[in-house]
Chains A and B, each alone.
Chain A
Amino acid sequence: MYMWLNISKEVKWVINTILIYLGWVLLLIGAVADLIAAIGLNRFPKFFVRLHAATIGTIGGAFYPLLGVALIAFGAEFVGPYRFFMGGAALVTAFLILLLAPAGSHALARAAHRSKLVKPEPVVVDHLEEDGGGE
């Protein structure tokens, strides 16, 4: 990555070290968020409450660690000559998850409400029940 920049070997070491440790910290944050989301998914009482835990599990538990994997792949030279392919694919997958996970959760919640599979209770006012969600 640095051959056209003409920088010294020490600067290259520093950049690789920063990338690896930053990626590892992101991976650790993602693992802890994943564990919290799994505990919440088991402890929360109802489906519409469990959606909050699932949000932590997808954004905090999949988006951040994939950014960390991308940084580690950019920094770790032992992975081989194809590590930039791996880092780029990890970035693309991270942004796919950032776009697709909320859309999927929202579609699932709306379908569970409209098909009356899950009753939203306790509830004060339910506009989606009254006007059918704008249809």
Chain B
Amino acid sequence: MTLEPGESTVITMLIAILPIFITAYILYLVRAIRGPTIADTVLAIDAFFFDVTVFVAVLGLIFKQPIMMVVAMLFALWAYALDVYVAKYLERGEMGD
């Protein structure tokens, strides 16, 4: 009774997902470069880094390195910090207080 998918099967299933993510990343970067205003660029970079989080987590499963999840968590927090800083700068025009 070998019902459980083996190691090579799971890794093949994970690698089959990755081209969809990479296509989405290229489209996000196209919007980030083309964006007419700074708000469009920041929105595209924000969505891009929330999804780089997922990409790093899947790579951690493929390479069997669970410590890569720590880096993924930092990516998510950094994207939120970028949003808040740019919003503060646009609203007040300064970064002091």
Contacts and interface: CB of A to CB of B under 8 A. Distances in A.
Q: Which of the four size classes fits the interface of chain A?
A: 35 or more
Given A34-B51, A96-B77, A80 B28 contact: no
A54 B72 contact: no
A62 B73 contact: no
Interface string B47-84: 10011011001101100101101101100110110111
Contact of A107 (B1, B25, B87): B87
Contacts of A47: 37, 39-40, 43
Interface size class of B (residues with CB under 8 A): 35 or more
Interface in A93-124: 93, 96-97, 100-101, 103-105, 107-112, 114-115, 117-118
Given A17-B3, A61-B54, A90-B69, 6 more contacts: A41-B31, A79-B66, A89-B70, A90-B57, A92-B73, A97-B53
Interface of B: 1, 3-7, 10, 13-14, 17, 20-21, 23-25, 27-28, 30-31, 37-40, 42-44, 46-47, 50-51, 53-54, 57-58, 60-61, 64, 66-67, 69-70, 72-73, 76-77, 79-80, 82-84, 86-88, 90-91, 93
12 contacts: A35-B27, A41-B43, A54-B47, A85-B66, A85-B69, A86-B66, A89-B66, A89-B70, A90-B57, A104-B46, A108-B83, A117-B39
